[in-house]
Structure 1
């Protein structure tokens, strides 16, 4: 019997919109342990929901065609019964090209009834300069250092948009 891959691989083409922005829904992201229903629920439409993991890694890639600065963010929500987030730092990271140097912003999450955008503006936005298009912009949402089990996170979408 063939073994199913444990990780969810992006199913989207992540095309740039006319205004230069990208909206990446959960099916268009790479999610570590995303194909294992013990850890994630990734429906065909709507938010991906983290059941439980100790290693949070959600990544994506878009091809930038125009020179400029691009802002990277994730829209997320931690459900009221979410766990493992207290005092845990979650990083939104981005870089240009596979060998680029990551830039990041640190965020702290807590259970809530509403969606939030991270990185939160009080931490400063995550803006990446694209000097030599076309370039691949790699980005991700990570919490791989604490070793704590965590759950209840919903990922609504990731966004990459030009900074005007």
Structure 2
């Protein structure tokens, strides 16, 4: 029996789909790296969303190519089902950095069960990442993380991640 990796590795054909104006990139679940994403005990991944069954280590990440001298906004479109669990007092971090050696910026987010398809972070707390004009590594690394509490969590649906060039 061949060994199957427990983690979903991003399909590169799904991760750099910028619109024609190069102002917005929508990354579907198959374009994201999802820890334990290939294990049906923990995740159910379809073309529509990645649905978290249960994990204690939430790590969903991706990367896209960006341009020098621009600022980008990173967000995830998510929903927590009514019967979701483990989110109450736990911060989830939306993080991003430019280049492998860049420093992460982040926004802490609280998720509420039963809240319908909303972007995180919300517009007022948006996560903005500036790509300096002298930057040489033009990949924006981003992710959704909750790896610190050790609590089991479930009921989260991730519809997509978005990287938007700020006008």
TM-score (norm 1): 0.94
Residue 68 (structure 1) aligned to one of 67, 70, 73: 70
Given that residues 78 and 120 in structure 2 are in contact (C-alpha distance below 8 angstroms), is that contact kept between their aligned partners in structure 1?
yes
SS of alignment partner, residue 35 of structure 1: coil
Partner of 1:146: 149
Offset at 1:104? 0.1
Distance 1:141 1:13 in 2: 15
Residue 34 (structure 2) aligned to one of 9, 15, 31: 31
Partner of 1:54: 56
Gaps of 5+ in 1: none
Offset at 1:125? 0.8
Offset at 1:13? 4.1
SS of alignment partner, residue 27 of structure 1: helix
Offset at 1:113? 4.6
Given that residues 23 and 158 in structure 1 are in contact (C-alpha distance below 8 angstroms), is that contact kept between their aligned partners in structure 2?
yes
Distance 1:96 1:57 in 2: 18
Q: 71-80 or 108-117: which moved more?
A: 108-117
Distance 1:13 1:34 in 2: 16
Matched, 1:41 2:44: yes
Partner of 2:161: 158
Given that residues 15 and 27 in structure 2 are in contact (C-alpha distance below 8 angstroms), is that contact kept between their aligned partners in structure 1?
no
What is the RMSD of the two structures over their aligned residues, measured on CA atoms?
Answer: 1.3
TM-score (norm 2): 0.93
Distance 1:80 1:18 in 2: 37
Given that residues 17 and 27 in structure 2 are in contact (C-alpha distance below 8 angstroms), is that contact kept between their aligned partners in structure 1?
no
Distance 2:42 2:141 in 1: 24
Count of aligned pairs between the two proteins: 162
Offset at 1:52? 0.2
